[in-house]
Structure 1
């Protein structure tokens, strides 16, 4: 009788970077993800292109998926 192969469930690695679109100029900005700051993060960051402040929101899902978006300050 042939032995059944046991497959390990694939563990999805969390993204190291995520991008958001600047609310003022529309430029796509790539930022590093820091999971030590929690699953729901919010901070202000100046756009490196137009220098206007954005309130950046990051959500880290339990499967490692990371979403980010920004709103003008």
Structure 2
């Protein structure tokens, strides 16, 4: 079963409509690109005991967030 949720891009403020598959988890987080400004947003969906959803996000363009931002040094230096 899926649920339509709306989040505002944290970078440009545009509304984004998403269909997310409901899981048994009360908190779900995932990365989603804004189709308007291309910012990658960390989207949080939190459900309460009555199955009401609260959605908010953080932009990768602020505070250095990005799913690919972790830099690993293979030489250990």
**Do the structures match in fold with TM over 0.5?**
yes
- 1:31 and 2:18 are equivalent in the alignment: yes
TM-score (norm 1): 0.71
Q: Please, what is the CA RMSD of the aligned residues?
A: 1.7
Distance 2:28 2:8 in 1: 16
Equivalent residue runs for 1:1-40 within 5 Å: 16-36=3-23, 38-40=25-27
Moved over 2 A (4+): none
Query: Paired residue for 1:48?
Result: 35
Residue 37 of structure 1 and its aligned partner are, at CA, apart by 6.0
Q: Which of the two has greater helix per residue? A: 1
TM-score (norm 2): 0.68
Unpaired runs of 5+ residues, structure 1, are 1-14
Residue 46 of structure 1 and its aligned partner are, at CA, apart by 0.6
Query: Paired residue for 1:7?
Result: none
Unpaired runs of 5+ residues, structure 2, are 61-77
